[in-house]
Structure 1
Amino acid sequence: MEEGRKPLIIAMKGHPGTGKSTLAHALASTLKFPLIDKDDIRDSTFHLQQQHSIAAASSSSSFVSLLNDLSYEAIWRVASTQLHLGLSVIIDSPLSRPTHFDRLISLAASAGAQLVIVECKPSNEAKWRERLEGREKSWHKPSNWEELQKLVEGYKGCTEYDVGHVPKTVVDTTAPNVGVEELVSSVVDFIDSCRGRFSKCVPSSS
């Protein structure tokens, strides 16, 4: 981070399989920012969910939701520590609900940080599906297109919320002849443009 410059929160957004994590890792490598991945935290709750399932003879949706909320709380706390140290961070999560976005607004305000959103939204559904079903399987993420559609339907449209004055760029991760390096370059250009007009990019807590 340049001397005197406010720390930056780069918040990834997008459904599973959209290329969000691949782009987040590439950005973190390029910018040398700490990467805070919600899946890393969620992965660590496997034994808790397994023990609960054995005790209850089922995996109750309320307990699963509780562990998911706990995972978000953990990434907010880890991000807060880094930001208050003056470090910029990349937060990799679906950012699917307005309440998660509101928490980011509060986090940015408390740390005096600048918030930008990078949303991955593939235009080619066939490539998206191929990517989703071809990736390494995870016990807490959809492994096929039908499971993803069920997840998206469960959101009931809440993922398409207004981010107000917070700068956001939408990235097509299935654009033809566009690789990860080009995507990273476009996001970095976007961030630089926000930095250049800092007064317009600082998130409001109102």
Structure 2
Amino acid sequence: MSLIILIRGRAGVGKTTLSNELGKELKLPIIRKDDIYDSIFNYIQDHHTRNQFCYELIYQMIKTTLDCKADILVDAPFSEISELQEWVTKHGGVLKPILCICSDEELWAHRFNQREINPKPNQMITNFEEMKKHYGDSRINGVEGELILDSVHDLKVLIEQSKQYIQYNL
């Protein structure tokens, strides 16, 4: 049975840092939504279409992973995951969602505002206050059974918590 580990959360909370280290630790490949977005930026002009393409490609890559009975880590800011949860289960896999948050808004704003220095195509909003206005509610709620990690804590501790959660629930 395939294991799909999903690292999700708002921009700038630490998803990429967490997924990079967890991927290294578990020796798993990572599908990163932002990498796909940045790669297609010059080929698809409309932001909505780019996002739609990214998520469709993520689903296809997860399906291939499930067909191969392999495991993978996905770094994508899914705000709603019930549909993904059902889809992965239907295709014979197990979804392990991890919600990454940052409870220290000052730290989160500092991280987020670093995007202004050299923004990537997927980083269209580079100011924390603008991001909060754009989303209205800057937080994403966890779902039942999901591990919630606060990136204000030491990365090594977060990795250990992630590994325990993944092993505990298999």
TM-score normalized with structure 2 length: 0.88
Equivalence for 2:64: 81
Equivalents in 1 of 2:53, 2:134: separation in Å?
Answer: 19
- Corresponding residue for residue 98 of structure 2: 118
Question: Tell me, what secondary structure is at the counterpart of 1:17?
Answer: coil
Aligned partners of 2:99 and 2:108: how far apart in 1?
Answer: 14
> What are structure 2's unaligned runs of at least 5 residues?
none
Q: 1:19 matched to which residue of 2?
A: 14
Q: Which residue of 2 aligns with 1:204?
A: none
* 1:56-67 correspondence runs (5 A): 63-67=46-50
Report Cα offsets for 1:50-94 as digits up to 9, x if no partner. xx4xxxxxxxxxx32121111110111011101210111111111
Match of 1:169 among 143, 147, 152: 147
Q: 1:31 to 1:114 in 2, by over 3 A?
A: same
Deviations 1:8-63 (A, max 9, x none): 111111000000111011111111112000111111221124xx4xxxxxxxxxx3
- Code of the residue aligned with 2:75 in structure 1: it is D
Describe the superposition over 1:121-143 as per-residue Cα deviations: whole angstroms up to 9, x where unpaired.
11111111111112452233221
Q: Return the index of the structure with the highest Cα Rg.
A: 1
Match of 1:191 in 2: 166
Q: Deviation per CA, 1:94-148: give whole Å up to 9, x if none.
A: 112x3xx244224312331111111011111111111111245223322111221
2:108 pairs with 118, 128, 136, which one? 128
Amino acid at match of 1:28: G
Asked if the contact 1:76/1:107 (under 8 Å) is kept, the reply is no
Q: What CA RMSD, in Å, does the superposition of the two structures yield over aligned residues?
A: 2.0
Answer yes or no: is the 8 Å Cα contact 1:83–1:89 preserved in 2. Answer: no
Distance 2:119 2:149 in 1: 24
Superposed counterparts of 1:28-107, under 5 Å: 28-49=23-44, 52=45, 63-96=46-79, 98=80, 101-107=81-87
Query: Where is the strand percentage greater, Structure 1 or Structure 2?
Result: 2
Match of 1:200 in 2: none
CA contact 1:80–1:107 (8 Å) conserved in 2: no
Q: Mark the runs of 5 or more structure 1 residues left unpaired by the alignment.
A: 1-5, 53-62, 196-206
What CA distance in whole angstroms lies between the structure 1 residues aligned with 2:103 and 2:2? 32
| Contact 2:37/2:121 (<8 A) preserved | no
**Which residue pairs with 2:119 in the alignment?**
137
TM-score computed with the length of structure 1 as normaliser: 0.74
CA distance in 2, matches of 1:169, 1:163: 9
Partner of 1:15: helix, strand, or coil? coil
